[in-house]
A and B are shown apart, each in its own frame.
Chain A
Amino acid sequence: AQKITQTQPGMFVQEKEAVTLDCTYDTSDPSYGLFWYKQPSSGEMIFLIYQGSYDQQNATEGRYSLNFQKARKSANLVISASQLGDSAMYFCAMKRGGYQKVTFGTGTKLQVIP
C-alpha cells in the first residue's frame, strides 16, 4: 500500500523568508508521480508542482521547488521568498503508475507572518 506522511501540522514563516514543507512517501512501485497542492482558506485545491519518479532534476515552478530525494523517499516543497498569500494548507500527494488513485497526506498549515 502507498502512504504519504506530512509530519508538520502547522508552520510559521516570516514574510520574504524561504520555508520547507516536509513530505515522505512509501511505495515499492518504480513508477510514480508526486504532487503538491495548495488549499487557501477559500477552500479550492490548487495544483502547484509535480515530480515524476524518473525525473533526473528537481521540479521547479516559479517560487516553488520540489526537493526530491528518491533514496530517502522524500519530496519536500520549498517556497522561496514567502508572501502573505502563501498562507494556506499544503497537501503532498502520490499517484502510482498503472493505478488511478492518488493518495494524499494530512496536510501542513502554513502561516506567513508580516
Chain B
Amino acid sequence: NAGVTQTPKFQVLKTGQSMTLQCAQDMNHNSMYWYRQDPGMGLRLIYYSASEGTTDKGEVPNGYNVSRLNKREFSLRLESAAPSQTSVYFCASSEVGISPGGYTFGSGTRLTVV
C-alpha cells in the first residue's frame, strides 16, 4: 500500500550513542516532516523539508540533524542521544500548500534512551 514507511519501529539507545531514523514515502509528495510526540505535549515539529534539497528547523531542532536524500527519503539523525530524546517519532509527508488530505503519517518509532 502507498504511504509513509518508517524504520525502525522500536529502538533502545544508551546515552551518547548515535542513530538514524529512516523515512520513505511513495506518494510523490514534495514536503516531509519529522515530529516527536511526548505525553501531554501533542506533536512538536523537529525539522521539515518543504521540497527536495531544502530543510528547515521546526519547534524543537536541538540535538537532531536531517537529510533530504531525494524526493522520497527524509532521515533524522541523533548524533549523541540523551534521555530527553526518549519519545515517539513520526515522519509525515504532504502536498505543498493546503490540501484536504493533510499529512500522511508513518507508523512511528518508539525510541528509549537509557
Contacts and interface: CB of A to CB of B under 8 A. Distances in A.
A87 to B, nearest CB: 17
Given A106-B42, A107-B42, A33 B102 contact: yes
A47 interface: yes
Interface stretch (A13-21, A77-85, A89-97): A89-97
B108 A44 contact: yes
Interface stretch (B17-25, B43-51, B74-82): B43-51
B2 interface: no
B42 A52 contact: no
A36 to B, nearest CB: 9
B97 to A, nearest CB: 7
A97 B97 contact: yes
Interface of B: 31, 33, 35, 40-45, 48, 50, 58, 88, 90, 92, 94, 96-105, 107-108, 110
A4 to B, nearest CB: 8
A32 B35 CA distance: 20
B98 A97 contact: yes
B96 A45 contact: no
Contact of B103 (A9, A52, A97, A102): A102
Given A91-B43, A106-B41, A50 B107 contact: no
